[in-house]
Structures are given as C-alpha cells and as structure tokens.
C-alpha cells in the first residue's frame, strides 16, 4: 500500500515538472515573438544614422510610418519643429507623407512664425525630405533667417553706395557741361569749377570712407596693437576739426584725466574719435561749444577709459537714436548734404570700438545737444611703463591742445 502511494506521488511530481518546463519554454518563445505594437512603436534607426544626425548642423527629424517622431535633434526642438512627439509644421508633415508614398526627395523654403514673439517676425527655413530605409523618413531643416538678413543688408548697402556715388558723379557731369557752355565767361567758369571741386571732394571722401569701413570690418586691429596715449588721440581729433570750428566760431575744449592709455590700433582709434568730433562741429550752431574729455572708470573686467564728445547741437530724436549707427543713415539728410557728410562716420565708429572690445553709447535730447561716449579697455601695462619712465611724459607733453581745458562732461544714461 505504501509502495503504491509512493509510486503515484513520484509519477505526479514528474508530470508537474514536465508541464512546468513546457510552460516556461512557451512563455520564453512568446516573449521573443514581435507584436504589432512593438513593430510600430519601437522602430530602429539604420546603423550609423544616429551618429550622422548628431553631427549635422541642420535640424534633423526622423519620422516613422505613423508620422511619430523617432529621432529629433535639439535644434529641431529649439526651432519649434517638434512638439509633443509630433512634427508641428503641417507643410513639412505633408511633404514627409508624399515622400513616404512615392520615395521621391522633396525640398521647399518656408516662412514660419517665431515662437514667443508677438511682432509677426518670420523664421525663414529650407526643408528637405528624403526616404530613410523602407519605413522611415528623414527631414532636414536649415535656418536661413540670418543668411537672408545678411543678403538684405548687402542689397541695401549696394543700393545706398550706388545712390551716394551717383549724386556727385551726376553733379560733376552737369558742371562740366556748364563749363563748356560758359567757356567765354571767365566768372561763370570759375564759379562752376569751384562747384566741381566741392563735388570731387565729396566723392573722394565717400570713396575713402568706404575703404575705411571695409578695412575696419575685415582687419583685426589687435594684430598690430600698441599702447595709445589718449591725450594724443584727443589732440589729433581736435586738430582735424580746427578749420571747420573756426569758420563757425565754435570753441573746442579738451580736458579730463591726463596720461591715460588704451590698447589698440592708433589709426583706427584716431579715425573713430575724429569722426565724433567732426560730427559735433558740423551739427552744432555757430558760436557754441564742443567738449572732448577722457576719464578712467572701474569695470568688473578691469578699468575702462571713457572718451566723451559733447556738443550743443540740434540733438537726436528717440527714433533716430536707434538707427544712427547704420551705414548711410542720416538724421538730417539736408544738413548732411550741406556739410558733405557721407552717412558712414558713425558706422565706422561702431565697428572700430567693437573690434577693440569696447562700446559706444549716445545720450541726446532734441534742442539740447548730444554726448557720444566711447568705452575702451585701458592698457594697464602702458600706464605702468609710463609711471616707471616719467621722461616719456616730457617727450609727449600733457597739454598739447591749444584749446582751453574742459572738465570731463557728465556721461548721462
């Protein structure tokens, strides 16, 4: 009896073990079998594609057959192309569907609204869609906004240059005809010849300032940098405008802190400060005062030198202050024509100061005058050398300006 019970228990245990092994093997095979859901939700990128997409400069998005985003670069998210795991731009989504259907590569340029701006600014992009394997579609998007802006600036620059050159050239042509017609009238010939000289000078100045602007945009001023005495820059700028100031009985007063040095290209810095002083004289009424002053100010990255040019001229309106550093922009075109201005002076100032690691600011009120301030890094090594060798002070001189000193003008916010 006991033997029979033991035999039956052994048989039952063996059957249970066999059933358990079969169930485990069946479960294992069932887990390895791909389901319909996994086929659609877990697509695999072809080998190497993930690495290639990570080094592309373009925004990249990979879509599966259900239009779900399989892979998207951070730039695609930054541009707002992908939101909530879906491609958010309908024209691009339609392109992807068409490419998935016929396998053809498509490309289009679109203007997309910027995210988070209410000014209606458009984001210019170029989108290219291509099949990636049998089930995936690759979308590459290139941001063309900056390229279009640069192209617009180039077109405007060429148009402005053409217009500015056309004016003196046309005047010279007309005046030469007038001289020929008045060949028997010496007084008329002399008068027309004087006008021709004025237009020729204006043309020469325009060409020279175009050359200067091109040079400061393309050259690195710090390659040939040297310690530059601020006193000498001020004296040179004042001397440059002495004749115009004397004609209008304008007093130019130079002052402020002496024995300051900046680090940079002497020629470019002198041209920038000279342009500011020249503008101050040209836009100031007769018998007024123009001040040029320098001082040292503390800054987190090291001491800065401020060069302020103050006038009592017509002033600048708020809307014009936002554009005065643009090339060929003039606050008062009629006055600029009368003074021979080209509209490039402040653009040159802006580029020179920026390339020297500084900034230029302006305070102005209509009818109260203007103050242009250059902020440039101080040449500390040059200052220390000047203190160790006081004989350099005697060679350069501290009071080379023939004008009366003027305290440093308050730099208004």
Residue 22 pLDDT exceeds 60: no
Structure tokens at 210: 């175009």
Q: What's the confidence (pLDDT) of residue 333?
A: 53
- Residue 24 is assigned to a structural domain of this protein: no
Where is 130: in which H helix or E strand? strand 122-132
- Residue 396 is assigned to a structural domain of this protein: yes
Asked if residue 237 and residue 360 are part of one domain, the reply reads yes
Number of domains observed in the structure of the chain:
3
CB atoms within 10 A of CB 200: 14
Whether residue 291 contacts residue 253, with contact meaning beta carbons closer than 8 Å, is answered with yes
Asked if residue 168 and residue 60 are part of one domain, the reply reads no
Structure tokens at 224: 């040939």
Among candidate residues 118, 143, 168, the one where a domain is terminated: 143
Between residues 364 and 383, the one the model is more confident about:
364
DSSP secondary structure string for all residues of 326-394:
STT--S-HHHHHHHT--S-HHHHHHHHHHHTT-EEEEEEETTTEEEEEEEEEB-HHHHHHHHH-THHHH
Asked if residue 210 and residue 172 are part of one domain, the reply reads yes
CATH number for the domain spanning 381: value is 3.30.565.10
- Residue 413 is assigned to a structural domain of this protein: yes
Asked if residue 345 and residue 396 are part of one domain, the reply reads yes
Whether residue 273 contacts residue 234, with contact meaning beta carbons closer than 8 Å, is answered with yes
Mean pLDDT of 333-353: 68
Q: What's the confidence (pLDDT) of residue 373?
A: 93
Asked if residue 230 and residue 335 are part of one domain, the reply reads yes
Asked if residue 321 and residue 229 are part of one domain, the reply reads yes
Asked if residue 120 and residue 57 are part of one domain, the reply reads yes
CA distance 53 to 62: 10
Q: What's the confidence (pLDDT) of residue 309?
A: 93
- Residue 239 is assigned to a structural domain of this protein: yes
Asked if residue 392 and residue 264 are part of one domain, the reply reads yes
Note down the domain range covering 287: 222-413
pTM attached to this predicted model = 0.52
- Residue 290 is assigned to a structural domain of this protein: yes
- Residue 323 is assigned to a structural domain of this protein: yes
pLDDT digits (tens, 9 = 90+) for 391-405: 433 333 333 333 333
Q: What's the confidence (pLDDT) of residue 34?
A: 42
Asked if residue 230 and residue 197 are part of one domain, the reply reads no
CATH number for the domain spanning 190: value is 1.10.287.130
- Residue 178 is assigned to a structural domain of this protein: yes
Q: What's the confidence (pLDDT) of residue 411?
A: 37
Between residues 245 and 380, the one the model is more confident about:
245
Among candidate residues 190, 218, 246, the one where a domain is terminated: 218
Asked if residue 258 and residue 347 are part of one domain, the reply reads yes
Asked if residue 212 and residue 76 are part of one domain, the reply reads no
CA dihedral of 176, 181, 187, 191, whole degrees rounded to 10? -30
Asked if residue 322 and residue 338 are part of one domain, the reply reads yes
Residue 168 pLDDT exceeds 70: yes
- Residue 108 is assigned to a structural domain of this protein: yes
Among candidate residues 143, 169, 198, the one where a domain is terminated: 143
């Amino acid at each position: 009896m006991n033997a029979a019970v033991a035999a039956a228990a052994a048989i039952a245990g063996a059957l249970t073990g066999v059933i358990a092994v079969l169930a485990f093997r069946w479960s294992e095979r069932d887990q390895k079998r791909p389901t319909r859901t996994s086929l659609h939700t877990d697509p695999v990128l072809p080998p190497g594609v993930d690495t290639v997409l990570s080094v592309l400069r373009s925004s990249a998005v990979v879509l599966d057959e259900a239009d779900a985003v399989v892979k998207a670069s951070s730039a695609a998210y930054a541009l707002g192309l992908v939101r909530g795991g879906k491609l958010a731009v309908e024209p691009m989504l339609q392109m992807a569907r068409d490419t998935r259907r016929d396998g053809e590569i498509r490309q289009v340029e679109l203007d997309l609204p910027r995210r988070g701006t209410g000014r209606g600014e458009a984001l210019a992009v170029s989108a290219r869609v291509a099949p990636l394997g049998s089930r995936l579609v690759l979308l590459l998007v290139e941001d063309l906004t900056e390229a279009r802006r640069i192209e617009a600036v180039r077109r405007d620059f060429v148009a402005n240059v053409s217009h500015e050159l056309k004016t003196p050239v046309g005047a010279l042509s007309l005046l030469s005809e007038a001289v020929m017609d008045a060949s028997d009238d010496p007084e008329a010939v002399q008068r027309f010849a004087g006008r021709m000289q004025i237009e020729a000078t204006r043309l020469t100045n325009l060409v020279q300032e175009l050359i200067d602007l091109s040079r400061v945009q393309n050259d690195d001023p710090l390659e040939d940098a040297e310690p530059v005495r601020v006193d000498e820059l001020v004296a040179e700028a004042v001397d440059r405008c002495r004749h115009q100031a004397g004609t209008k009985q304008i007093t130019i007063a130079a002052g402020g802190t002496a024995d300051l040095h900046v680090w940079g290209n002497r020629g470019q810095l002198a041209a920038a400060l000279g342009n500011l002083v020249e503008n101050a004289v040209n836009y100031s009424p007769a018998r007024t005062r123009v001040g040029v002053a320098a001082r040292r100010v503390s800054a987190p990255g090291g001491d800065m030198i401020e060069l302020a040019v103050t006038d009592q001229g017509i002033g600048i309106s708020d809307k014009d202050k936002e554009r005065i550093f643009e090339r060929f922009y003039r606050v008062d075109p009629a006055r600029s024509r009368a003074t021979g201005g080209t509209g490039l002076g402040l653009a040159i100032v802006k580029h020179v100061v920026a390339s020297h690691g500084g900034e230029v600011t302006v305070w102005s009120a209509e009818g109260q005058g203007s103050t242009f301030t250059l902020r440039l890094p101080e040449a500390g090594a040059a200052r220390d050398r000047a203190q160790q060798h006081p004989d350099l002070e005697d060679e350069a001189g501290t009071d080379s300006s023939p004008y009366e000193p003027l305290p440093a003008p308050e730099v208004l916010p």
